[in-house]
Amino acid sequence: MRNACREIRQSGKRLGFVPTMGALHAGHLSLVQAARSQCAAVAASVFVNPTQFGPKEDLSKYPRDLDRDRGLLEKENVDLLFAPAAEEMYPAGAVTWVTVEGLSERLEGKSRPGHFRGVATIVSKLFNIVEPDRAYFGQKDAQQAVIIRKMVRDLDLGVEVVVCPTVRESDGLALSSRNVYLNPEERKQALVLYRALCRVQALADRGERDAMKLREAALQVFAEEKPVRLDYFEIVNKDSLEPVKDIVRGALVVTAAFVGKTRLIDNLVL
Ligand code: AMP
């Protein structure tokens, strides 16, 4: 993969890179399309990264279908697909980690200890192998995007990070590989995340600036969907991820909730 990528770059082509865990959907493909439109060559990776899953999380049942993913990427004219085995990425005895301090402990990191250490480490490794000019990430994983940007700046990785908008179903549910876990009833309940975010947006549009009031309104929306267990709903600064008192342009509204056993996340930038 390193040689193939070098060859492309040495021919003077700009290389775009889209890292994924596979089970591809239109959200992933929107990143590929953005890369395709901006770069002469596009590489994608499919790797279900074990180090970003907690011991009680869904690593073993995470959806995997490499043949289907390969077909979808071929249709989008992706030049290179990297789909290594876990043993290849993590040789026995590997003990080196990348930790983005502070940002990694909040929100998702609080609920999923070690998650962002796994993410930052695998993304660093993939960047070292691919050496892309640009790498494409989804706003769907807002905290991840903030952390990757910070890592790239702190470690002088020389990759341009591009963050693309969240792709949604027609009813507003954010596309996620984990949506396949939802039964039809849960699929309806899952809309509560988007409903709560929209409620905050609507109140903000009407002039409400008090983050606590906005948050309370969102919690009420969740209270109406009893089976869904809210993990967090926070209004934070879009760079520091620290809670804000008053919303300013660019405040980030982030939420996570369990619908049945499935943990979903969503967010919007006010
Ligand atoms: P994953 O396979 O879940 O690791 O996601 C790979 C990349 O696709 C990440 O940068 C995600 O943020 C992005 N992504 C996932 N879902 C969506 C979506 N609904 N819209 C846009 N990007 C997404």
Per-residue pLDDT tens for 126-144?
999 999 999 999 999 999 9
- Burial class of residue 9 (count of CB atoms within 10 Å of its CB; 0-12, 13-18, 19+): middle
Phi then psi for 4, rounded to 5 degrees?
-60, -40
d(CA 15, CA 79): 10
Ligand 1 atom index nearest CA of 144: 12
What dihedral angle (degrees, nearest 10) is formed by the CA atoms of 224, 226, 229, 235?
10
Going from the Cα of 208 to the center of ligand 1, the distance in angstroms, rounded, reads 31
Quote the CA–CA distance of 233 and 152 in Å, as a whole number: 27
pLDDT tens string 32-89: 999 999 999 999 999 999 999 999 999 999 999 999 999 999 999 999 999 999 999 9
Q: What is the mean pLDDT of residues 238-249?
A: 91
Identify each DSSP E strand in 56-164 by its residue range.
80-82, 134-138, 160-164
Residues 200-215, mean pLDDT to the nearest whole number: 97
pLDDT at 248 (0 to 100): 80
Report the share of the chain in percent with pLDDT over 70. 100
Does 22 have pLDDT greater than 80? yes
The domains found in the chain, sorted by start residue, are: 2-164 (3.40.50.620), 177-269 (3.30.1300.10)
Mutate to test the pocket of ligand 1, among 29, 81, 122, 141 (most ligand atoms within 8 A of CB): 141
Active site residues: 28
Nearest alpha carbon, ligand 1 atom 8: 28
Q: Which residues are CB-contacts of 39 (< 8 A; sequence separation ≥ 6)? A: 13, 14, 15, 16, 133, 134
Predicted pLDDT at 216: 98
How much is the average pLDDT of 262-267?
98
Percent of the chain residues topping a pLDDT of 90: 99
**Given the structure tokens 């890369």, which residue do they identify?**
35
Mean of per-residue pLDDT scores for the chain: 97
Q: Is 49 in the pocket of ligand 1 (CB under 6 A)?
A: no
**Cα–Cα separations (whole angstroms), residue 15 to 32, 62, 93, 249:** 12, 29, 32, 33
Residues 128-185 pLDDT 10s: 999 999 999 999 999 999 999 999 999 999 999 999 999 999 999 999 999 999 999 9
- For ligand 1, say whether the CB of 174 is within 6 Å of any of its atoms: yes
User: How many whole angstroms separate alpha carbon 15 and alpha carbon 42?
Assistant: 6
Q: Name which residue sits closest to atom 22 of ligand 1, judged by CA.
A: 138
pLDDT band at 91 (very low <50, low <70, confident <90, very high): very high
What pLDDT is stored for residue 250 in this prediction? 74
**Banded pLDDT at 249 (limits 50, 70, 90):** low
137: which strand partners? Answer: 163
Please give the pLDDT value at position 127.
98
Helix, strand or coil, per DSSP, at residue 131: coil
